[in-house]
């Protein structure tokens, strides 16, 4: 499968720190879709000293320059991801598909971020404790839910049809975050099938490991 960038003539700047973090999936979408983009690295001190320079006083921020010279600035990671996914055909072909794809992607965020990474107990400690709510409730429910969705599509490494969509990339991103913290997914799980399928895409061009969520960026 080859991704199409719809003859995109825009250029993009991703403003973020010199790490993947919350800009990681933004860069992955731009990379896989062959967009012309560059990184503008900023430090926490620079952001704190110039908060008025950013729409909401923080990063990431995407700046798109169109062929006619006009610019479009967008902040908030999820909004940027969904904008790019829509632009590059990763959200289906009609409003119903787009809404459905967004719902799956947002569920991944809400289940894993809200219930795991915004708790009083640090995620590293929760993962190590077999009796934690994360290990006994959150993770099993998440795995069961998303394996059901993936099996519904034939366990072919995609949530919908036989092509890459935004939920595939969101799942892969968060799966790699969890694995980096010590979570182990069964090799037979449909969730791992998504990883294997997306990792094999030619568009990664040997850059799969470079785009790990915990990585810094080569300058």
Q: For the domain that residue 186 is a member of, what is the CATH number?
A: 1.20.1050
- If asked whether residues 107 and 74 sit together in one domain, one would say no
The pLDDT-based confidence of 1 (bands split at 50, 70, 90) is very low
- If asked whether residues 149 and 55 sit together in one domain, one would say no
Question: Of the candidates 28, 58, 88, which is a domain's last residue?
Answer: 88
Closest CA to 173 of 200, 194, 142: 194
Q: Are 165 and 101 in contact (CB under 8 A)?
A: yes
- If asked whether residues 70 and 107 sit together in one domain, one would say no
Asked if residue 109 has pLDDT above 60, the reply is yes
Question: Of the candidates 42, 67, 88, which is a domain's last residue?
Answer: 88
- Is residue 214 in some structural domain? no
Mean per-residue pLDDT, 137-156:
96
Q: Rounded to two decimals, what is the model's pTM? A: 0.93
The pLDDT-based confidence of 123 (bands split at 50, 70, 90) is confident
Alpha-carbon distances of 181 from 164, 174, 176, 184, rounded to whole Å: 26, 11, 9, 9
**Count of domains observed in the chain:** 2
- Is residue 6 in some structural domain? no
Question: Of the candidates 29, 57, 88, which is a domain's last residue?
Answer: 88
- If asked whether residues 158 and 111 sit together in one domain, one would say yes
Q: What is the predicted pLDDT for the residue at 5?
A: 58
How open is the CA angle 171-143-166, to the nearest 5 degrees? 20
**Structural domain containing residue 193:** 95-204
- If asked whether residues 99 and 200 sit together in one domain, one would say yes
Contacts of 105 (CB under 8 A, 6+ apart): 81, 82, 166, 167, 170
Helices (H), the chain: 24-32, 44-49, 77-87, 95-109, 123-128, 133, 139-152, 166-180, 190-199
- If asked whether residues 78 and 109 sit together in one domain, one would say no
Task: Please identify which residue in the block is written with the tokens 């009796």.
Answer: 131
């Amino acid at each position: 499968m080859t991704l199409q960038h719809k003859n995109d003539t825009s250029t993009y700047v991703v403003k973020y720190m010199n790490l993947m973090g919350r800009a990681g999936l933004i860069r992955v979408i731009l990379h896989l879709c062959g967009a012309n983009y560059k990184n503008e690295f900023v430090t926490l001190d620079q952001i704190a000293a110039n908060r008025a320079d950013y729409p909401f006083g923080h990063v990431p921020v995407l700046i798109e320059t169109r062929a006619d010279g006009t610019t479009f600035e967008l902040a908030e990671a999820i909004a940027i991801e969904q904008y790019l996914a829509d632009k590059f055909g990763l959200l289906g072909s009609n409003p119903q598909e787009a809404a459905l794809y967004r719902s799956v992607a947002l569920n991944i965020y809400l289940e894993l971020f809200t219930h795991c990474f915004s708790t009083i107990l640090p995620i590293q400690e929760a993962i190590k404790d077999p009796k934690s709510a994360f290990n006994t409730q959150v993770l099993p429910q998440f795995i069961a839910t998303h394996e059901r969705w993936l099996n519904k599509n034939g366990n072919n490494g995609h949530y919908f049809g036989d092509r890459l969509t935004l939920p595939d990339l969101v799942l892969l991103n968060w799966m790699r975050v969890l694995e980096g913290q010590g979570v182990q997914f069964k090799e037979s799980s449909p969730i791992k099938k998504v990883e294997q399928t997306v990792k094999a895409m030619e568009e990664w061009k040997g850059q799969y490991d470079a785009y790990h969520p915990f990585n810094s960026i080569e300058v």
